[in-house]
Structure 1
Amino acid sequence: MNILRDVSKLVCKTDRRALASLLKYAETGLKPQYVCKGHMSLASQTDQNEDLDKLYRMVEVEVRGNDPAVLKSYSWFTTTAAMELGITVGECWTPRKANHERLTLLKSVHIYKKHRVQYEIRTYFRFMQFLRLTGSTANTFLEYIQRNLPEGVAMKVTKVEITAIPSHIKTHSEPQQLELPATVEERNL
């Protein structure tokens, strides 16, 4: 009820709608953005230092693992979850060939080059793009898909943020032109 004492200074006694909305917000604990026209808002008093939400043009998720079937299933899960949350899904692709790493070792310590063992590790990749996300949506979505990441699968996330053009890069109004002398006599002076 302490909030009502503070709010009573802001709201006129005749404005019943504003008072009803403030009572609703006092019960829920939420902060109203605007009380009503002509009155000061509570949000402007409390949220002056909060940053704006970041905007991402694209969030690219790269997953890699040793089993292509697991990666295909996980990409289906991720894109389905994104569609259910209303996130725009861009391209989903996989490279044609896997990354092969071969390691050749001798079987025996004492005999050279007669008996060898060759080990091979294949790493498969899958890329998924999600377009036009806000910072809070991206963080929530990425946390959800990371918590459901299968065992043996690694994830790499690349975010492309939209920012304003800095003032030192913006074009100037008019480039300055140098005045060149027209004749030889003007050059000597």
Structure 2
Amino acid sequence: MNVSGKAWGTVAVWLGLGTIYATSVPGWHFTWLMLVGVGWLSFGVGWLIVLGLVLVRRGRLVALRRNWPFWAVPPLILALAGSLVYVGAPVRMRFELSRSSLDHFAKTVSEGTPPGKRNWIGLYPIEYLEGSRRAFGFMIEDTGFFGSYGLAWSPNGEPDIDAPGYYRHFDGPWYIWIDD
């Protein structure tokens, strides 16, 4: 792979990582998702133009075989990132990386410590927090398009939080809180 091929591969890797980050919260980070979407669109158009130019030149099969990583790496990265998003791996990964902080916070709230003003719980930037000793929930900053998304904790079934929205079970006492 030549220098320009490495640059295309590097950009594809960064776009793949950006896609995984943008989709790592319930409801997805809307702003990041739009930026990554524009990046993938620009990248794809440029990549197809370069492919078209190679195909109309003489010796195109030799050029295709010689630079196969240039042609293979970006679609493979796109397929890998898309597959991970499809199965929900980014959301699960961020949740598991934050699990100890989330569980610790839930334990302190359930023991009667007021939640107070928080900016982060684990890897989640907090927009606002609601709840009581029985259940609590927080909205994650910059999620969703028409509504907000967050996480809720309730060890006794669906959360009973005096706030709009509905809940979808996620893991153990954790629920995804959707406020449309």
- TM-score category by the smaller chain? under 0.3
Give the TM-score normalised by structure 1: 0.25
* Higher normalized helix content (fraction of residues): 2
Structure index of larger Rg: 1
* Higher normalized strand content (fraction of residues): 1
Give the TM-score normalised by structure 2: 0.25
